[in-house]
Amino acid sequence: MTSLMSIAGPILMGAVFGYLLQQGKVTSCNVIENQFRLRDFTVLKVMGTAIVVGGIGVLLLVDTGNTKYYVKDANMLAVALGAALFGIGMVVYGYCPGTALGAIASGSVHAAVGAFGMIVGAILYALSFDWVKAHILNVWALGKVRLPDITGVPDGVWFAALAIGAGAFFFWVEASEAKARRAQG
């Protein structure tokens, strides 16, 4: 039973995630490219809402002892370089790794071609890992820190600011989109 749950559980979680990505249109290369071209804000709407809703819930779950944080190491140079490569790759590929898996299943052949590229990228990273570890991962390595730790600003204030900031931003985006639609007739 436990072994069945340990397979069915994650498959179900992944399926719900993939279902939501597809429903939200973020498995579309056009939607992702147009986010970076600032013509379609679907990606930011999905991510921003997920971060605020997810973050407030996880904060409460941590505070009530129902889970803990799983924070990734702040190896600042590696994260900055990796994120820059990621940004380049995402615009050229038109997907990020998770949305690509969803796109393949909804008929995108070029996403499947890129998935082979992703396998090559993972292999290249493994092969270069010793050098990267010795020269990049250890630069400005600050550990598993959270913004409330380093700033002294409490979690609640961060989420209030994020929620208000995201709310105001999306309100402005919706208003601009409505105006553009009206201008189109």
Partner 1 sequence: MTIMTDVVVGDARKSRRIDWSPYLVGAGIGILSWVAFAGFGDPLGVTTAFSRVASLFAAPVVGSDVVAANSYWRSMPLKWDYGVWFLVGIPLGAFLSAIILGTWRLELVPEVWKERFGPSVLKRFVAAFLGGIVIMYGARLAGGCTSGHGISGGLQLALSSWLFLAVMFATGLVVSRLMFRKA
Of 76 and 164, the one with the shorter C-beta distance to partner 1 is: 76
Nearer to partner 1, 117 or 165 (CB): 117
Neighbouring CB atoms inside 10 A of 179's CB total: 10
> d(Cα 151, Cα 156) in Å, to the nearest integer?
13
Query: Smallest distance from the beta carbon of 112 to partner 1, in angstroms?
Result: 9
Q: Under a CB-based contact definition with an 8 Å cutoff, are residues 94 and 28 in contact? A: no
CA atoms of 9 and 102, how far apart (whole Å): 18
For the bound state, the minimum distance from the C-beta of residue 75 to partner 1, rounded and expressed in Å, comes to 7
Closest approach of partner 1 to the CB of residue 35, in Å: 8
Query: Minimum distance between the CB of residue 42 and partner 1, rounded to whole angstroms?
Result: 5
* Cβ distance to partner 1 smaller for residue 16 or 168: 16
CA 7 to chain centre: 24
Interhelix angle 109-135/76-93, rounded to 10 degrees, is 160
